[in-house]
A = this chain, B = another copy of it.
Amino acid sequence: MTLDDYIADHFDRFTAELAELCAIPSVSAERSALGEAAAWVAARLERLGANVEVLPTADGGPPVVMAGLGPADAARTLLVYNHYDVQPVDPVDEWSSPPFEATVRDGRLYGRGTYDDKGNLTNRIHALEAWSATRGALPVRIVFLIEGEEEVGSPHLPGFCEAHGDRWRGADGCLWEAGGRDSERRYVLYCGVKGLAGFELRARGGATDAHSANATLLPNAAWRLVWALAALKGPDEEILIDGLMDHVAAPTEVELRALETIPFDDVALRDAYGLDTLLLGLEGADALRRHLYAPTCTINGVHGGYAGPDLKTVLPARASAKLDFRLVPNLTPALVEDLLRRHLDRRGFGDVEVARLWGEHPARGDVDSGVARAAIAAARAVAGSEPVVWPHMPATGPMHSVCAQFGVPAVGFGVGHAESGAHAPNESIRLDDYADGLRLTVKFLEVFASA
């Protein structure tokens, strides 16, 4: 039986299985149904013939599903990283069909997780099933690592990887969680991620709020916070934290060449946000280079004092801001925290508390690795067009913990499309892309095994 025949015969069951997994409301931010989703995944992998373990994480975090399959003596080992948790569904009113009831409309399957990341996960399981059914033994050894809190920054995953990393140390490559096709149906691949350091800055004034007539003599937490923040980044978008930019690694020649192949649509981004220009007036290649190779320092929220209508003549005693830094090599969360704390202290803001909220290392991608070259070849074969290869994503994931620290190169591809709407209402995949994803994964395994 050919692969295409197998896909055609079993496609309805494949999408039904994906819908079954999507019906489990495993929202990690709400800690709901995570054990149920892990159990579903474990059972499905057992039916695939894998040796499955559901392993706990520290402090009662959601379990990690690990599964091994394929010949123990295969020449190559592929790590496959996915997650069974999803984003919250708010604003729920904007969904055209119930978010946890995957629904087909106009050739698409709508529902939370159909793309991110349940659709990518089941697609890989179904591709392995299809390989076994049509070709026999798998050509590589596979190690699945499927976690349950990617959407909240994978707080327990670094500890898990430290404890269990020997199970995949030395793997020849990692198939990362997600990916998709752009508006011209090209596959979009990526080989690395930015890191993320998240903090809360907390400023204090007097013991309680005061009448603002006392502003002559009493400190104001909102002012302390504003001044501390203004010491971190200036209106020219330069990060001012002493020494931070000195740690930023310049892109390599290979990375810069890879950038030239990326059809980055700066005009579409600009228009989507109703702007006359992007930041600093950047366009085209300059915008893309900054997008990938500049670290960021972002105020996610700033709050203190009166928030009602009109005016309240109050002097706030407390104010705080949440900040995230997107990290490029060679910045790390610990380094940024240390530089931030010292920078504030040196400028007289020792009173402003810095609390750590999130920390993920960046993972430098290698577009020339075996696993990346296999993905590029497979994407070219299935789509009939050259894929777009990002050295790394502007976004973040636990690629350092899972792959980079063990020397495992990674590549991400998946079943998304230009309007998949990960994290948004009406998340969807195209059914055609799901079928092509099976072909893509099979082709990828074939190339990866033989390279």
Chain A interface (Cβ within 8 Å of chain B)? 152-153, 194, 196, 198, 205-208, 210-220, 222-223, 225-227, 229-230, 233-235, 266, 269, 272-275, 278-279, 282, 287, 290-291, 294, 296-307, 310-316, 319, 321-322, 324, 326, 348, 357-358, 393-396, 423
Contacts and interface: CB of A to CB of B under 8 A. Distances in A.
A217 B298 contact: no
Q: Within the oligomer, what is the number of copies of this chain?
A: 2
Given A223-B299, A274-B207, A322-B306, A311 B198 contact: yes
Contact of A326 (B212, B304, B326, B395): B212
Contacts of A208: 273
Given A222-B299, A226-B226, 17 more contacts: A152-B310, A153-B311, A196-B313, A206-B272, A215-B324, A215-B326, A216-B290, A216-B394, A217-B278, A226-B299, A235-B348, A300-B311, A302-B319, A303-B304, A303-B307, A311-B358, A312-B322
A217 B159 CA distance: 34
28 contacts: A198-B313, A206-B272, A206-B275, A208-B273, A211-B395, A211-B423, A212-B296, A212-B326, A215-B296, A217-B290, A218-B269, A218-B279, A222-B301, A222-B321, A226-B229, A298-B313, A299-B305, A300-B311, A300-B315, A301-B306, A301-B312, A302-B302, A302-B303, A302-B304, A303-B304, A305-B322, A311-B357, A312-B322
A213 B326 contact: yes
A286 to B, nearest CB: 10
A223 B299 CA distance: 7
Contacts of A215: 296-298, 324, 326
Contacts of A226: 226, 229-230, 299, 302
Contacts of A301: 222, 304-307, 312, 314, 316
B234 A213 contact: no
A392 B194 CA distance: 58
From A290, A315, A358, residue with most partner B Cβ within 10 Å? A315
Contacts of A218: 269, 273, 275, 278-279
A309 to B, nearest CB: 9
A396 B217 contact: no
Nearest to A221: B299
B206 A273 contact: yes
Nearest to A310: B357
Contacts of A214: 269, 291, 394
Contact of A287 (B217, B269, B393): B217
A145 B314 CA distance: 28
A291 to B, nearest CB: 5
B217 A266 contact: yes
A143 to B, nearest CB: 28
Nearest to A155: B310
Contacts of A395: 211, 213
Contact of A305 (B300, B313, B348): B300
A230 B215 CA distance: 16
Nearest to A314: B300
Contacts of A223: 229, 233, 298-299
A207 B313 contact: no
A358 B220 CA distance: 20
A185 B394 CA distance: 67
A227 B235 contact: yes
A416 to B, nearest CB: 15
A245 B182 CA distance: 57
Among A208, A234, A302: residue with most chain B CB under 10 A: A302
Nearest to A315: B298
B300 A312 contact: yes
Contacts of A212: 296, 298, 300, 324, 326
Nearest to A193: B213
A316 B273 CA distance: 12
Contact of A216 (B216, B294, B315, B324): B294
A206 B278 CA distance: 10
Question: 9 tightest A-B contacts by CB?
Answer: A206-B273, A301-B305, A207-B274, A230-B230, A301-B306, A222-B299, A215-B296, A198-B311, A215-B298
A348 B395 CA distance: 30
